[in-house]
Amino acid sequence: MNHPREPQLRIHPDPEELAATVASEVLDLAARCIRAHGVFRIALAGGRTPRALYEHLAQIGPGHGDWSHWEIFYGDERCVPQDDLDSNHRMAREAWLDRVPIAPEHIHPMVTDPNDPAGDARRYGAHLSELPRREGMPVFDLVLLGLGPDGHTASLFPGTDILAVTDRPVAAVYVPEKDNWRISLTRPALEQADALWFLVTGSDKADTVARVLHPAGAEDAALPAALLAPARPPVWHLDRDAARSLIADGGD
C-alpha cells in the first residue's frame, strides 16, 4: 500500500510560529529555484493555516527577492466565482497576492466558469502542459497542502472518484458531504512535486495526522493523504496540537 515515504516532521509551538517559519522557508526555496532555473512555480492551498502563511509572505516578502519570477498556481478550488467568499483564489489575493507586485499574468486561478467544472479542469490541465514534466505530469517547485479531519487533502476526499484518476493532472470532483463541485490536482500530479509541504494545525487534526503517517490498517492506509506516494519525501509542518498524537506515541 502507498503512503508518504520517509516524511520529514517539523513541529512548531503554535500556528503563528508555523506560519512565520514556513513563510521564511518558502522565500528561501523560491530564491534557490530562481537562481537554478529562473522561475519559482508554487501551487497554493486553501484554509486557515495557509492564509496565515500568505499574510506573512505579504509582510516579509518585499525585501526577499523579485516577485516577477514567481508563478502562482492552485492545488484545488471550489467551483465558485473568483470573488466568492469560498474561493481559495480570493483568499490568497486578499491575504497576499494583491499586496505584492506579482503581475496578473503570473497568477493562474483554476476556475473561470463555475458552471463548467469538467471544462475548467480540462483547461487548467492544458495550461499546466507548459510546465516541466516528469512521469507525464507537470512538476511544481512547491505544492502546499492541508489536511482535513477526514483525511482529505487538496480536494481528494474519501470515497470520491478523483482518487482513481491517474491519466491527467487535474480533474473535477463532486463532494457529496460538501454538496459542491471542486477542481483539484490529482494524486499523480501532487506526487511529482519537487517539494510537497503539508501545513496542519489544531487538535482536531491530531488523530488524523497519526493515522496518515502511521497507518494501523487498511482503513487508515485508504485515507486520501495516506494514498499519496510522493516522488520526494514530503515535509509535514505541524503545530504541537496537531502533533499531539505523534508526541504521545514518541513520534517527535
Q: What is the pLDDT of residue 1?
A: 40
Evaluate whether residue 35 is within a structural domain: yes
Quick: pLDDT tens for 133-157: 999 999 999 999 999 999 999 999 9
Evaluate whether residue 64 is within a structural domain: yes
How many domains are there within the chain? 1
Quick: pLDDT tens for 162-202: 999 999 999 999 999 999 999 999 999 999 999 999 999 99
Evaluate whether residue 53 is within a structural domain: yes
- Write down the pTM of the prediction: 0.95
Higher pLDDT, 61 or 86: 86
**Alpha carbon separation from 241 to 6, 18, 146, 209 (Å, rounded):** 22, 12, 15, 11
CATH of the domain at 34: 3.40.50.1360
Say if residue 40's pLDDT is above 90. Answer: yes
Taking the C-alpha atoms of residue 249 and residue 213, their distance in angstroms, rounded to an integer, is: 12
Evaluate whether residue 145 is within a structural domain: yes
Q: What is the pLDDT of residue 4?
A: 44
Evaluate whether residue 175 is within a structural domain: yes
Q: What is the pLDDT of residue 39?
A: 98
**Which H or E run contains 145?**
strand 142-145
Evaluate whether residue 233 is within a structural domain: no
Q: What is the pLDDT of residue 62?
A: 66
Evaluate whether residue 235 is within a structural domain: no
pLDDT above 70: percentage of residues in the chain: 94
Strand partners, 199: 237
Range of the domain at 176: 25-226
